[in-house]
Amino acid sequence: MARLPVYQRILLELVRSGTATVSSEQLADMARVNASKVRKDLSFLGSFGTRGSGYDTEFLLSHIDKELGLDADWPVVFIGIGNLGRALARSQGFTSRGFRVSGLYDVATELVGTTVGVHVVRHLDDFEADAAVDPPAVGVIATPAAAAQDVADRLVGAGVRSLLNFAPRVLRVPSHVLLRQVDLSIELQVLSFYLSHRDHPASASVSSPLPHPVGLSPVEPG
Amino acid sequence: MARLPVYQRILLELVRSGTATVSSEQLADMARVNASKVRKDLSFLGSFGTRGSGYDTEFLLSHIDKELGLDADWPVVFIGIGNLGRALARSQGFTSRGFRVSGLYDVATELVGTTVGVHVVRHLDDFEADAAVDPPAVGVIATPAAAAQDVADRLVGAGVRSLLNFAPRVLRVPSHVLLRQVDLSIELQVLSFYLSHRDHPASASVSSPLPHPVGLSPVEPG
DNA sequence: GTTTGTGAAGTTATTCACAGCG
DNA sequence: CGCTGTGAATAACTTCACAAAC
């Protein structure tokens, strides 16, 4: 269920702001979807609502967290501590709720030894030894494209079974390894599609009612 | 059509590697989808394939580019030149194929005047004057969450009609403004979902065949 | 009265399967 | 022959609408 993370974020904000209950309609507004959809989605997890008053935010959040596996504690290593890697490793979304930074690695000698948040950047050559002591579950690759496949091979070799690849290159991994390729510029291309069908000189007369391109609605992380 | 950017990326790589034609099955493999889906998707754009041999990569790419609006030249401003903003502004995906960096802005005096790629970071206070000269079409917000709404208001006030928000806060904008909220940690949560249904101690016996979580398959930008 | 949970209806997307073109 | 393009069949998803629960 691809909308679960969205509900999770919204509920997290509601819990933090002290809201005790929320109706499907309120949740739907915040997630920018239909209220029935929210109810169908949530009924998939079980009957957690109270008719007449809505859902208990804290109770519902804990169940979504469990469903998403955010009640676990997966060690995550970050490879490639450039601008993007640093941004990811420091972001609350990547360092809380189910995940724990277990190591930051790079090959640039001027980066090795520096600190990012509370963590010290180590040389990639130390990775295998570190992994033997504290085996990482997830590897986040934010290296240049040319290095990504080698890094992926080393991660897989060290037993990492899940990869998140931000480098703009398609990776080959064994079938038992979970891989998600992430391309930040896809968002811009989607925007471009709507832009061109709305503002483009060549299509100024397009009258088809395009749906409003509303993406995920993240809420404030801690 | 949400898969168009994926095909675009794959075709871009194929064209660069000198591949002249590609069959729907090859494309499907690379995009990790079904071959009929590729054909249906592409037939939506018109009849660009040649029966018996496949699609001309260059010809097809140019048509997808046109459909996505990547043949236009939208000026993009980046607000918030921290780690993420810098990573985005430097990435090929954000600075080519339909987009042009028209300005980088921040409020940190130690950042103002520094260069990112070929561009100089300017103070946010200069934005309105700059925008009057070269009106930006798209604004990319990569500020801290607390600043995001103010920045969005200023961008909209200056006539920007499309926003891409990477700050973890839901923005309110007038209905004529296109807004996409992007949350980088959603990818990790999706991974977490699969992780927990595969590796989690509590569900080690789950036998339902989860689909392999393969995301977008970006290819090397120039 | 309010709001959930859910069958039924409606809609959209995916896959099949094959005629028709190169 | 190989491969596209596409109607028909299938499946997935979304919305409606309302009975049951609080």
CATH value at residue B64? 1.10.10.10
CB-CB under 8 Å, B161 with A93: no
The predicted pLDDT at position A95 comes to 78
The predicted pLDDT at position A208 comes to 31
Q: What's the rounded Cα separation, in Å, for the pair B134 and B219?
A: 31
Q: Please name the residue of chain B whose CA is at the shortest distance from the CA of residue A219.
A: B169
Residue closest to C20 C1′ by Cα: B51
The predicted pLDDT at position A199 comes to 59
What is the average per-residue pLDDT within A164-171? 86
Closest CA to A88 of A158, A127, A139: A139
Tell me which of A41 and A189 has the higher pLDDT.
Answer: A41
Question: Is pLDDT above 60 for A143?
Answer: yes
pLDDT, mean over chain B: 85
Structural domain for B48, as ranges = 4-68
The predicted pLDDT at position A93 comes to 80
Q: Does A197 map to a domain?
A: no
> Residue B141's beta-bridge partner residues?
B79, B165
Q: Does A81 map to a domain?
A: yes
What's the first-to-final CA gap in chain A, in angstroms? 24
Closest CA to B8 of B48, B51, B63, B88: B63
One domain, residues B89 and B51: no
Q: What's the rounded Cα separation, in Å, for the pair A198 and A77?
A: 42
Q: Per this entry, what is the length of chain B?
A: 222
**What φ, ψ does residue B206 adopt, rounded to 5°?**
-60, 130
One domain, residues B92 and B167: yes
A11-40 residues near strand C (Cβ < 7 Å): 23-25, 35-36, 39-40
Question: Is pLDDT above 90 for B96?
Answer: no
Domain boundary among A68, A83, A106: A68
The predicted pLDDT at position B34 comes to 94
> In three state form, how does the secondary structure of B99-167 look?
EEEEEEEECCCCCCCCEECCEEEEEHHHHHHHHHHCCCCEEEECCCHHHHHHHHHHHHHCCCCEEEECC
* Nearest nt (C1') from A48 Cα: C4
CB-CB under 8 Å, A87 with B199: no
A82 burial (CB, 10 Å; 0-12 / 13-18 / 19+) is middle
One domain, residues A62 and A81: no
Amino acid at A19: T
One domain, residues A20 and A63: yes
What's the first-to-final CA gap in chain B, in angstroms? 24
Question: Is pLDDT above 90 for A31?
Answer: no
Mutate to test the interface with B, among A92, A185, A219 (most CBs of B within 10 A): A185
What is the average per-residue pLDDT within B199-212? 37
CA-CA distances (angstroms) from residue A132 to A32, A100, B195? Answer: 45, 17, 20
The predicted pLDDT at position B217 comes to 32
Tell me which of B106 and B203 has the higher pLDDT.
Answer: B106
Amino acid at B151: V
One domain, residues B107 and B144: yes
The answer to whether A173 and A181 are in contact (CB under 8 A) is: no
Strand C bases near protein CB (under 7 Å) are: 1-7, 14-17, 20-22
Q: Does A32 map to a domain?
A: yes
What's the sign of the alpha-carbon dihedral A91, A96, A99, A102? positive
Domain boundary among B34, B68, B102: B68
H or E element at residue B94: helix B92-95
**Range picked from A59-68, A166-175, B167-176 for highest mean pLDDT:** A59-68
One domain, residues A63 and A90: no
For chain A, the domain total comes to 2
Please check whether residue B133 touches A, CB under 8 A.
Answer: no
Q: Does A210 map to a domain?
A: no
Q: What's the rounded Cα separation, in Å, for the pair B55 and B65?
A: 15
- For A96, the 3-state DSSP assignment is coil
One domain, residues B11 and B100: no
Question: Is pLDDT above 90 for B206?
Answer: no
Question: Is pLDDT above 60 for B219?
Answer: no
Residue A147 to chain B, least CA–CA distance (Å): 12
Question: Is pLDDT above 80 for A215?
Answer: no
Domain boundary among B13, B34, B68: B68
Q: Does B160 map to a domain?
A: yes
One domain, residues B36 and B18: yes
Question: Is pLDDT above 50 for A205?
Answer: no
Q: Does B99 map to a domain?
A: yes
Find chain B residues with C-beta within 8 A of A168's C-beta. 91-93, 218-221
Q: What's the rounded Cα separation, in Å, for the pair A127 and A107?
A: 11
Q: Does A199 map to a domain?
A: no
One domain, residues B154 and B61: no
- State chain B's maximal CA–CA distance in angstroms: 63
Find chain B residues with C-beta within 8 A of A212's C-beta. 175, 178
Read off the pLDDT of residues B138-150 as tens digits, 9 standing for 90 and up: 999 999 989 999 9
Share of chain B above pLDDT 90, in %: 58
The predicted pLDDT at position B221 comes to 31
For residue A28 the two structure tokens come to 């739907």
The predicted pLDDT at position B199 comes to 58
The answer to whether B64 and B92 are in contact (CB under 8 A) is: no
Share of chain A above pLDDT 90, in %: 59
Q: What's the rounded Cα separation, in Å, for the pair B105 and B124?
A: 5
The answer to whether B141 and B113 are in contact (CB under 8 A) is: no
Amino acid at A128: E
For residue A31 the two structure tokens come to 């997630």
The predicted pLDDT at position B75 comes to 94
What is the number of CB-based contacts under 8 A between chain A and chain B?
230
Q: What's the rounded Cα separation, in Å, for the pair A42 and A7?
A: 9
What is the average per-residue pLDDT within A168-183? 82
Closest CA to A75 of A4, A162, A9, A148: A162
One domain, residues A44 and A104: no
One domain, residues B129 and B168: yes
The domain that holds B90 is classified in CATH as 3.40.50.720
One domain, residues B30 and B104: no
Read off the pLDDT of residues A48-106 as tens digits, 9 standing for 90 and up: 989 999 999 999 999 999 998 888 889 999 999 999 999 999 988 887 778 999 999 99
The predicted pLDDT at position B107 comes to 98
Q: Does B199 map to a domain?
A: no
**Range picked from B93-102, B116-125, B178-187 for highest mean pLDDT:** B116-125
Share of chain B above pLDDT 70, in %: 89
The predicted pLDDT at position B62 comes to 94
